[in-house]
Structure 1
Amino acid sequence: MMRLTLPRALLVAAGALLLAYAFAIAPTTSGGPEDRRTEPVANAEPRVVAESAPSPSPVPAVAVFPPDDKAFVGVMTEKGPHDFAALDTFTAAAAHQPQVMLFSSGWATDEFDRTLFDRISSRGMLPMLGWEPWDYRVDQQARKQKTLPARQVDRIRSNQPAYRLSRIANGDFDSYLRSWADGIRSLGYPVAIRFAHEMNGDWYPWCEKANGNRPGDYVKAWRHVHDLFQAAGATNVTWVWSPNARWNKSTGHLADYYPGDDYVDWVGATGYYGTGVFTNYWSFDEIFGPTMTELGRFTSKPMVITETGASDASGRKAEWIRETFRTLPRHRNIIGLIWFEVDKELDWRIASSPAVAAAFAQSVADPRYRFSWSPEMRPRLDVGHP
């Protein structure tokens, strides 16, 4: 048996230390990635982060159009975005930049044209398309016959079987509709569409009381157009349903023509002082009151006066304008008014006289109407709630 001398004992101890180093320490400090272990070391102190990550910035709220306690003032001219001369005259007379421009387009002749929408939006106005399923040239030809009574003109222009509501609902115009849906989606900013307005009358081909249409056809046609736009991804549309202001029982029950809250964003109404049954002086509330009362029975959607104007046949045009703008704030559900700045049959323009222009300018100088539209704003969908 070998004796364990002091030198040999030192040699054995050194060997043991080398073995301990090889099996315990060396694997943690050398070798390739496959040799680096991920197990936590016992009793290891947690890693201290020198600087905490910055808190995320709050997302800014999207502005609503129109803002709280505001109402917009819009305009419709004869040539719309094709020629801004009348718009410039209106803006100067009103001393006010309108926030909305309404313009018409007929299905028989008009294809989607991005330029028209861009011209309006670049002027700081929400484009509102008055989309009309008919051939408006029939109306133009009838009006040229000066001897024809007005009701005869209505019967001629409303008789267009090619544009019956059932044909729209059945998909006969779907390729045309898709071209517009794709175009409007590509704009990338909000657009309002007032489709087939004044449906409760009998003077357009899309009225249920004309053109061989049947009860219920209007709602079917509206929903078909709306659903096609939704399917195409054109969700930047504010849908504006706009009957004519009621004046007697012959204008029908508005609820019969209403597509439903799921298909409508704003409700509207058309009404003028100085024509038809409103030839004598009727105040704003007398013209629009019955319609607003009836609308309130089946919807609480925001309301827009989508077409209005006043003639000066009895010399009270300026008075009607002042009274109208004093009245509007009492109707919290009304979020806007569009003035018909056209000399057609009667001169509805505020530029018709200095006194009328002054009355309008003084009325819209109220802070309630002073704000700007921008493409980043989203439409107000509830009255009094952003």
Structure 2
Amino acid sequence: MTVNIFLLASLTMLVIHTSGRIAAATASTAAQAHASAGANASITGHTGTTIATNIPSKAQILATQGKYFGVAEPGMPWSSSAGTQLAQTAGVPPDMVEYFVNWTQDFSAVPVQDAYAQGMLPVLTWEPSPGGNAHTTQVNFPEYSLSTIINGSHDAYIVKFADAVRDAKWPVAIRLAHEMNGNWYPWCEGVNGNTAGQYVEAWRHIHDVFSREHADNVIWVWAPNIIRSASTPMAELYPGDAYVDWIGLSAYDVTEHTATQLIEPTLRLIRAFTAKPLLITELGSQPSASKAAWTADFLSWLPKQSDVIGFIWFEYTRAQGAGTDWGFDTDTETLASFRLGIQPIKLVVLPLE
């Protein structure tokens, strides 16, 4: 197979999150007003969930202990019922949620509020492109080439986004221009007119704009793909520890039988140039006779990794637009393995009190 199944699933995320974004865009702006109220706040997102809380600092989030159990799932974080159902299915509530925003969209505080109202840290995957097609690789967008970011063509948009993030006050993890070591996104080097060295320059430019705008509540997540499907050396794409808080990683089990086989070859290369904490920002296993065993092995592997702070499971199915059914709940045996494996893991509790 010339195209990894994973690539198709990742590409679908350029589109399938649209319904959630529409819901966020049409939600009440009351939630955004709460976000600007100060350190003491009550969260009432459009989900209807309300909690009294303190707005934690970025430093508090970075200092939390435990592992993150995150999900990327249709309707989350906008729908509290989706979150409740996922928690019931998994046996424990997730403490992190990922959603996707492309560069035709402004920042909204609503999904951030909704995430915190449900006890989850929001991870915003921010894609420098106008979106894509669910079943076709979209890489040729010259107006979004890395050079246009570097030369300031998008600065008005970036400044507006940064100001909105800052004014929302809540810490937000931003996974910027992910899987950059591949060749299937318009921000990858070697496609869309991009040349060597431009990815780092573009990342630093965006980061510097946020710094000038005092958007200091961002947890910056630099997130390559595992090396099985990618060709550009990761070290050449790393913007430096001063520009990154967490390392992310896309890791989908296709032919591997253990978490060690899937993740550690890439992890060893990453550890040659940074010791930043690692979060597996997309994780899943394709349907197979070994999926339940692989899931059990991963959840046994995770607690032994002091520098891996957690994972985000890709809970989309083929029927929902993904290339295959990656989720941990696609069959009863895998779900049983997940529920058994997640129970003893100490999960992060966000500092909201």
Shorter-normalised TM-score: what interval?
0.7 to 0.9
1:245 aligned onto 2:240: no
Alignment of 1:196-207 (within 5 A): 196-207=177-188
Measure how far apart 1:93 and its partner are.
1.1
In structure 1, the partner of 2:286 is 311
Are residue 362 (structure 1) and residue 340 (structure 2) matched?
Answer: yes
> Does 2:350 align with 1:373?
yes
- Percent of aligned positions with the same letter in both sequences? 36
Compared CA separation, residues 66 and 307, structure 1 to 2 (3 A): farther
> SS of 2:191's equivalent?
coil
Map of 1:296 onto structure 2 = 271
> Is the Cα–Cα contact under 8 Å of residues 64 and 350 in structure 2 kept in the other structure?
no
| Structure 2 residue 329 is matched with structure 1 residue 332 | no
Shift of 1:375: 4.5
In structure 1, what residue type is equivalent to 2:309?
I
Q: Is the 8 A contact 1:65 1:373 kept in 2?
A: no
What residue in structure 2 maps to residue 94 of structure 1?
90
Deviation for aligned residue 1:295: 0.7
Identify the match of residue 125 of structure 1 among 112, 120, 126.
120
Query: Root-mean-square deviation (CA), in Å?
Result: 1.8
- Measure, in 2, the Cα distance between the counterparts of 1:306 and 1:331: 16
**Which structure carries more helix by proportion?**
1
Q: Which residue of 2 aligns with 1:104?
A: 100
Q: What 5-or-longer segments of structure 2 have no aligned partner?
A: 1-58
User: Do 2:280 and 2:311's aligned partners in 1 also have CA atoms closer than 8 Å?
Assistant: yes
CA shift digits 1:292-315 (9 cap, x unpaired)? 111111111011111000122x22
Shift, 1:86, TM fit:
4.2
Normalising by structure 2, report the TM-score.
0.78
Q: Is residue 199–residue 206 contact of structure 1 (8 Å, CA) maintained in 2?
A: yes
Q: Distance in 1 between matches of 2:78 and 2:299?
A: 29
The answer to whether structure 1 residue 134 and structure 2 residue 134 are counterparts is no
- Contact kept in structure 2, 1:241 and 1:267, CA below 8 Å: yes
Post-superposition shift, 1:229? Answer: 0.5
2:73 corresponds to which of 56, 73, 77: 77
Partner residue in 1 for 2:204: 223
* 3-state DSSP of counterpart to 1:335: strand
Distance 1:87 1:348, change over 3 A: farther
- Within-5 A mapping of 1:142-153: 143=135, 153=136
Deviation for aligned residue 1:97: 1.2
Q: Which amino acid aligns with 1:201?
A: G
CA drift of 1:175 comes to 1.0
Q: Structure 1, unaligned stretches of length 5 or more?
A: 1-61, 144-152, 275-279, 377-386
SS at match of 1:167: helix
Alignment of structure 1 residues 155-234 onto 2, 5 Å: 157-234=138-215
Aligned length: 291
SS of corresponding position for 2:301: helix
Cα separation, 2, equivalents of 1:264 and 1:317:
33
| Partner Cα separation in structure 2 for residue 340 and residue 66 of structure 1 | 25
Q: Which amino acid aligns with 2:90?
A: A
| Corresponding position of 1:5 | none
Matched position secondary structure for 2:306 = coil
CA contact (8 A) 1:93 1:350 kept: no
2: CA distance between counterparts of 1:328 and 1:367? 9
Q: Distance in 1 between matches of 2:103 and 2:283?
A: 24
Please give the alpha-carbon distance, in whole angstroms, between the structure 1 residues aligned to 2:60 and 2:108: 28
Deviation at 1:194, TM superposition (A): 0.2
Which has more radius of gyration? 1
- Secondary structure at the residue paired with 1:181? helix
- In structure 1, C-alpha distance between the alignment counterparts of 2:84 and 2:291, rounded to whole Å: 21
CA contact (8 A) 1:246 1:288 kept: no
Instruction: Pick from 50, 64, 68 the counterpart of residue 67 of structure 1.
Output: 64
Q: Extract structure 1 runs of 4+ deviating beyond 2 A.
A: 62-68, 78-90
